[in-house]
Structure 1
């Protein structure tokens, strides 16, 4: 059986409780019997899902939202020092706990699988959560996205396995002590926190060093950054590699597109294994093989886990079909890094039926990321037939002088892409409706509020 509540977390207060990572921890604590409370900037379906579990969720941030009997305040790196609830916690002497520390404590006494990497964490964590549940292992899990409904990003399960997304962006994944760790890829990102690849490597080395004695690192053999990390670790931890490279321990022999699915053939311990991945694209097939290798490292038979992986049918915002109107499918993509953008566009190209065009509505995410990777983002858009590029979604960042979406647009046009800048999001549905033809695929792409445009585009297409 899974353990109960960690000490001093029976009455937690979450600042930013509606966030993907924060809401998952709050949900698990509520399911374990904690009296959960918190606040968020705006109302949401996630807030309602938490209330349905008995949590108290305030909208807006105010000192009076923090109850006098709160045993701790949980924060993420996005919470600013001048938050009034944080100030009130200091006045009351209430301990402040970082989100990663709270999650680490939830994993105590269990068999954790921690999924790390620059891209693919949410998908791979979700694949493991779904497939392990399909096998009746009732895992606990904390994911950075919803599976099929608001609030479905986390679960307190009765089993001994805990699957968690491990975030490298603020080095918080150094807090975990997994039995199995997955590293999907290693690239330079999160430029506000990492100044160089050396800093990235050092951070991932620390993460790998947290694997418990006798545990396993599952890491791709196909990406140079991951191979360099493997070289740096130099046998300090038991390592299982996967991928299409000839020297991979779990070798991917083929990935065959079948519409919005893929058939994957792997060679594992000398035995060929064929299974279906119910989402399109080579990138997602690799994620599934990483999940397979991790499960096997934990002692789950490959012949049982492989078919169970087909039960995963997607997570919100990861190539999620939003609907179809006027013969045009609208799909939502969370891709915001050039590697992710390229992977999703290649997947859509392979899945397009009858030669339909790929149209992208791209919203850059973060000024710092655009400053460093704007050229590469623009080059990724050459894989689309036409793109609409919005202004930068700032999230937690303040503007950087001279950094706008024009950096992406210029790079895209220089590489031969057809790009239309649109500064007012309300104009996007009309713009897309004027571009789209029956058989086309429209991708709303980015980590910001571009996702809200999908239903509006569908509504406008339906009027054609």
Structure 2
């Protein structure tokens, strides 16, 4: 990889791939890539001097290019199909593994919250003039796409992803684990196998280990390696006192943040603990947190129109949905309206009852058709099944602004929720309400 100066990334519009593209471009490599369609991310990449193609039918393999491909791309149907065994053709997981053997890695993992926490940790370092590199699958209003090449003798802060067991072979020096929850069972088959994958990664971390003991699944691992605990339970080195304080070494600290919800307070505390283990004083981390805007699509505030606040969130797992709805219910003076787009037929099928339970906690929910994310439909699995007294099914996203307009009132909150193209809806609702 050191001898190759040209990089081509397949699936470059994905959040995990775009951050790698930006990191390598800032490192001085010529980076290009392919994606199926234009998007906000591909537009951002081109602003970062990364050329994006939308048709690669006439491309041919070159031994002088490093190819990195996403798991979302059917690589055996591309121009690389006969070269997959070559060293310059790497999956995302293989690239990150090789990167980890060339750099110190400060990793953040967990089923929920890892992107925001990685971004926050990177922000803490940069706010304190420590120019670390970072790679995480999201973007912020401060730094754009979550990739940056910093000083080469400093660590890389890396979001360590459990999907497809990506984190299995990454060499991690310091590790923060936010939680472990039931997800990606289409790959792992059972929750026990997923937990075992986390256990191996935790035990293989080399130096500082920070664990959230409010998460029962982490607690149940009974990790014997030396580690730092953050938790609301007595005995934790970082004892959280909700809603926004923690105690360390008998001193109480207050968290001042733009982020909404107790789950963010927990993740912030974990990030502060890991930053402290890397030489950043707690007071310096707290000062940095005040200016952290959050990651796009993580309870992201979109604006206010007619006294109605709109938020957008990436949540596509029942636990994430519960955390976001709970956080917004605590601050709303009126009603909370949720518009949910289920993500994948398999996940909707596996967790249907949990999804429905969390959606019914909102004052009113609208569910649109399932975003397939490349999956084929499963007979009988449809968003229509969610309908109940407080849940309405609407087939078309385009119907929603008009439907909401006659119902929402001043002091209400509207939340768009899901990992698909539901994120495009919020600005449309704002525009529609503003014109009425």
Check the 8 A contact 2:185/2:191 in 1, yes or no.
no
Aligned with residue 230 of structure 2, among 225, 238, 242:
242
Does the CA-based 8 Å contact 2:22-2:145 persist in structure 1? no
Q: CA deviation at 1:275?
A: 2.5
Q: Among 69, 73, 76, which residue is 1:75 paired with?
A: 69
Q: Deviations over 1:283-308 (max 9, x none)?
A: 11111011111112223222322222
Question: Following TM superposition, by how much is the alpha carbon of 1:103 offset from its aligned partner in structure 2, in angstroms?
Answer: 2.7
Question: Aligned runs of 1:167-206 on 2, under 5 Å?
Answer: 167-206=161-200
| 1:361 aligned counterpart, secondary structure | strand
Q: Secondary structure at the match of 2:411?
A: coil
Q: Is the 8 A contact 2:61 2:79 kept in 1?
A: no
Correspondence list, 1:3-402, <5 A: 6-60=1-55, 62-66=56-60, 68=62, 70-87=64-81, 89=83, 95-148=88-141, 151-158=144-151, 160-212=154-206, 215-229=207-221, 231=222, 233=223, 235=224, 237-255=225-243, 264-352=244-332, 355-402=333-380
Shift of 1:8: 4.9
Tell me, yes or no, if the aligned pair for 1:332 and 1:454 is still in contact at 8 Å. yes
Q: Quote the residue 1:3 is aligned against.
A: none
Distance in 1 between residues matched to 2:43 and 2:371, nearest whole Å: 25
Q: CA deviation at 1:227?
A: 0.8
Structure 2 CA distance for aligned equivalents of residues 434 and 190 of structure 1: 39
Gaps of 5+ in 1: 1-5, 256-263
The CA distance in 1 between the partners of 2:322 and 2:141, in whole Å, is 25
> Does 382-391 or 76-85 show the bigger shift?
76-85
Describe the SS at the equivalent of 1:144. strand
Does residue 453 in structure 1 map to residue 425 in structure 2?
Answer: yes
Tell me if the contact between 2:70 and 2:92 (Cα under 8 Å) persists in the aligned partners.
yes
1 CA distance for matches of 2:211 and 2:84? Answer: 42
Aligned to 2:409: 437
Q: What is the rounded CA distance, in whole Å, between the counterparts of 1:150 and 1:157 in structure 2?
A: 13
Please, which runs of 5 or more residues in structure 2 have no aligned partner?
A: none
Partner deviation per Cα, 1:92-130 (whole Å, 9 max, x = no partner): x57321112223433444432211111001111111111
In the alignment, the residues of structure 1 paired with residue 61 and residue 76 of structure 2 have an alpha-carbon distance, to the nearest angstrom, of 18
Output the CA distance in 1 between the equivalents of 2:370 and 2:10. Answer: 25
Is the contact made by 2:255 and 2:265 (CA closer than 8 Å) also made in structure 1?
Answer: no
Q: CA deviation at 1:191?
A: 2.2
Paired residues, number: 435
Distance 2:368 2:105 in 1: 39
Bigger drift between 444-453 and 123-132 goes to: 123-132
CA drift of 1:150 comes to: 8.4
Shift of 1:151: 4.3
Cα distance change of structure 1 residues 32 and 66 upon mapping to structure 2, 3 Å threshold = farther
Question: Retained in 2: the 8 A contact 1:27–1:154?
Answer: yes
Instruction: Give CA-to-partner distance per residue, 1:361-418, whole Å, 9 cap, x none.
Output: 00001111111111101100122111110111111322222212234x15xx3xxx51
Tell me if structure 2 keeps the 8 A contact 1:49–1:150: no
Q: Deviations over 1:178-210 (max 9, x none)?
A: 221111111111121122221011100121133
Determine if the alignment matches structure 1 residue 406 to structure 2 residue 384.
Answer: yes
Report deviation, 1:80: 1.4
TM-score (norm 1): 0.89
